[in-house]
Structure 1
C-alpha cells in the first residue's frame, strides 16, 4: 500500500533508537537484565500538588473544551513566569499553549515555512528538529557545533551557512543531547547575526530549570528588544516539573505567528488537554520546591558519574552544564573493540553487556552516544561498570 503514502512522510528519517529499543525489549522478554540509559524524562513523579489540582479541576467540572491556544488563566501564569525569570513582558495574544513542546514546534514550522525554506540547525541536535522542518516543506541545513567549542555554533558559522532561502535558526540551550549552555555573550553575537540576516530565531528552552555548577540560563529574547521581536520562545513543564506525559508546552512571540499557530491547532488538535492545563497552572502558581529538589538530585548524580564515564577507555566527554544527559565521544572505544561505527558499538553493548544506549547518529553526531542520568544512580553506575568491562575485555590492542 506504499502507493497511497504521501511524499511528506516518505522523507522522514526512521528513529535510530527504534532498533535499540526493540532489541532491548526482546532481551528483557527473554529474562535478560537490560539497563536502559535512553530515558528522556525525569524519573520523579509529578509533584503531588499538581496532581491534586488536576484532580480537583475534574471534580469541579473542568472537563470541556478550552480555547485552542490555552486557557486565559494558564496564559497569565506563563506570562508571569516570563516576567519573573527573563523580565520579558508578553500579552495573551502572544502566547500559544500546545500539546507538549514538540507539538508547539511542529505547529511553528507549519506556520512559518514555505516549500524550500531553509532552517539552520546546529549539530548535535534534538532528533525531531530536522524531521519537523521536512514535514513543513523546509530544508534542514546543519551547522556543526564542534566538540572543541562545547558542541556550540558561532555567529560566524551562522553567517557562513545562511543563504537567501534561510528563514530561521534553532537555538537549544540547555541542549539535548549535549547538556551544554550558551553564554550571554555567545547569544548576543548570534542574535546580532540573526538580526543582520533577518532570521527568525526559534529558542528551545525546555531544559531551562535544570542547570548545574552555578551555570546561568539566558534567553536570547531578553538580551535586546529587537531580539524579542524576532524570537519565538518555546518551553514547557515536561522537564522542569516532571510532567512529560501531561503534554503541555508553549510558545511566546510575534502575534501574527502565534495567531497562525492557533488557527492551525484549531483544525488539528483543538485545545491541549483541559485537565493537563490545570495541572500546568498549578505547576507555575504553586510551590517551586520540587523543581529545585529534582535539580539538586540530578546535579548530585552528575557529580557521581561523570568521572566514571571519562574513566572508560576510549571515552571522552564534555562536562554538561544542564539537562540530564552525558554525550561522550566513544569512537576510539568503538574502534578499539573492532567496530567500524558507534552504531555497531552500541549494538554490541546491548547484546553482550545488556546496556541500552542511544547512538549519536540520530542527533547528527555519529561518534557519540547519549547517556541519560534521569534514572536511579545504582542502575546508572552498574551500567557504567558493564560498559567499562565490555570495553576492557574486547579491546583489540
Structure 2
C-alpha cells in the first residue's frame, strides 16, 4: 500500500544532496550556518550535568509553557492559559501535522494557498481528506474572491503562512479583515496560521493571528524556536490553540511523539530570560540588505522580501529553462544551490523564479554572490 503515491523526496532533500555531491554553496535549505549564541550553548553545557535527561511532561515543561505565554503576551498582548492552550512540539512541522491529523476527517477539505510549504498537504492526504490548492496572485497577495469560491460545505480548514515561505510576503490588515469576513460566512472552518518566521520581518511588521480577536476561538498558531533562535536541528516549536481544539490535538500528540527533548526545552526556557526577540529581525535585515547589495549588479532580478530569511529572484533574463532544470545547472556549473519556486505549486506553475536562503555568514554570502554575478 502506498498512502502518498505522488510524493517522493522533497525538493529540499534533492537540492541539498546535489549541493553536497558537487561541493556547491548550499543556499537552498532554510538553515543558518553561523554559530549559535554563545549564551545558549553555555546554558546547554551547564544543563548536561543537571537532572534534565528524562521524559518531559507531555505538553511541555511548565516553566517553558509559562515563558511562551509571556512571550505571546509581550509580543501580541494576548493572555493564554499555559496548561490548556500551549503545546511544545518537535518542530513547528510536527505541530502542523498533528493539528491536521487530529482535526480533519475523511472527505473534508483543507484550503492551502500556493506556493506553499510541502508539509501541509501530506497530513491532509493521510487523513483521507482533500487538499484544495488555491493560487495566490502573481504578486503573492491572497486573492480572497478566489479563496472564497473554493470554500464549500466540506471545507474544514484554511492554512495560511505569514510571513510567507517561499516569497517573503506579509499579510496586511486588509487581508485579515477579508479573512474574517470570509470566516464569518463559514463558522465551521478552522484557521491554521503558520507563523514560524514571525520575528524575522523588516520594514513591515508582522501581523499575527494572535492579535485578531474574532479569530482566536478557531485558530491554531504554529511557531518555531528553531527558526527564531537559529537552532533548527533542535526541532523545538510550539502551537497555540483554544482549549476545545487543543484537547483533540493533544490526543494525537501523545501517541505521535509524547514529549519533546527535555534538555532543549529547559535550555530554551532559560534562554528566554536573557534574549530579546526584537533583535532577531534586525540581524536578518542586515543580512538581507547585504545579500541584496551583493547581487545588485547581477543579471538576476531581486523580488521584494518583507520577511523570512529567503530572497526570491527572477532568472528570466538569463535562461528560458524551467526552474528545476535551471537550479540543477546552477549547482553543477556554478556551484550554488537554490530552490525552484514551481515545486511549491500543485500545478508546478513556473514563473522563472528561484529562492535563496541568506541565513548564512557573510563569507558564504560573498562567495555565493561572486559566483552568481559571474553568470
Unaligned runs of 5+ in 1: 1-5, 29-33, 391-397
CA-to-partner distance for each residue in 1:284-332, whole Å, 9 max, x for gaps?
A: 23232xx45553332122222325546543x433221111101123345
Unaligned runs of 5+ in 2: none
1:143, distance to aligned residue in structure 2 (A): 1.6
d(CA) in 2 for partners of 1:147, 1:304: 26
Instruction: Indicate whether 1:361 and 2:350 are aligned.
Output: no
d(CA) in 1 for partners of 2:318, 2:130: 34
The residue aligned with 2:285 is 299
The residue aligned with 1:394 is none
1:23, distance to aligned residue in structure 2 (A): 2.4
Q: Assess, with a 3 A threshold, how the Cα gap between structure 1 residues 139 and 345 changes in structure 2: closer, same or farther.
A: same
Q: Assess, with a 3 A threshold, how the Cα gap between structure 1 residues 159 and 210 changes in structure 2: closer, same or farther.
A: same
1:182, distance to aligned residue in structure 2 (A): 0.8
The match for 2:226 among 218, 238, 257 is 238
The residue aligned with 2:32 is 42
d(CA) in 2 for partners of 1:366, 1:139: 24
1:168, distance to aligned residue in structure 2 (A): 0.8
User: What secondary structure, in the 3-state scheme, does the structure 1 residue paired with 2:74 have?
Assistant: helix
Instruction: Indicate whether 1:144 and 2:135 are aligned.
Output: yes
Using the size of structure 1 for normalisation, the TM-score is: 0.87
CA-to-partner distance for each residue in 1:52-74, whole Å, 9 max, x for gaps?
A: 33343442212111221111111
d(CA) in 2 for partners of 1:191, 1:311: 43
CA-to-partner distance for each residue in 1:171-201, whole Å, 9 max, x for gaps?
A: 1111111111111221122122123223211
The residue aligned with 1:393 is none
Instruction: Indicate whether 1:117 and 2:108 are aligned.
Output: yes
Q: Assess, with a 3 A threshold, how the Cα gap between structure 1 residues 14 and 366 changes in structure 2: closer, same or farther.
A: farther
1:157, distance to aligned residue in structure 2 (A): 2.4
CA-to-partner distance for each residue in 1:89-110, whole Å, 9 max, x for gaps?
A: 2112111111111111111011
Answer with 296-305 or 70-79: which moved more.
Answer: 296-305
d(CA) in 1 for partners of 2:291, 2:36: 25
The residue aligned with 1:177 is 166
Q: What does residue range 1-397 of structure 1 map to in structure 2 within 5 Å?
A: 6-28=1-23, 34-91=24-81, 92-148=83-139, 151-198=140-187, 199-213=189-203, 215-224=204-213, 226-288=214-276, 291-306=277-292, 308-309=294-295, 311-313=297-299, 315-335=300-320, 339=321, 341-364=322-345, 365-367=349-351, 368-390=353-375
CA-to-partner distance for each residue in 1:320-357, whole Å, 9 max, x for gaps?
A: 1111101123345321xxx2x11111111111111111
User: What secondary structure, in the 3-state scheme, does the structure 2 residue paired with 1:7 have?
Assistant: coil
Aligned residue pairs: how many?
Answer: 369
User: What secondary structure, in the 3-state scheme, does the structure 2 residue paired with 1:24 have?
Assistant: helix
1:84, distance to aligned residue in structure 2 (A): 1.1
| Residues 188, 220 of structure 1: 8 Å contact kept | no
d(CA) in 2 for partners of 1:25, 1:317: 26
| Residues 16, 361 of structure 1: 8 Å contact kept | no
| Residues 12, 29 of structure 2: 8 Å contact kept | no
User: What secondary structure, in the 3-state scheme, does the structure 2 residue paired with 1:10 have?
Assistant: coil
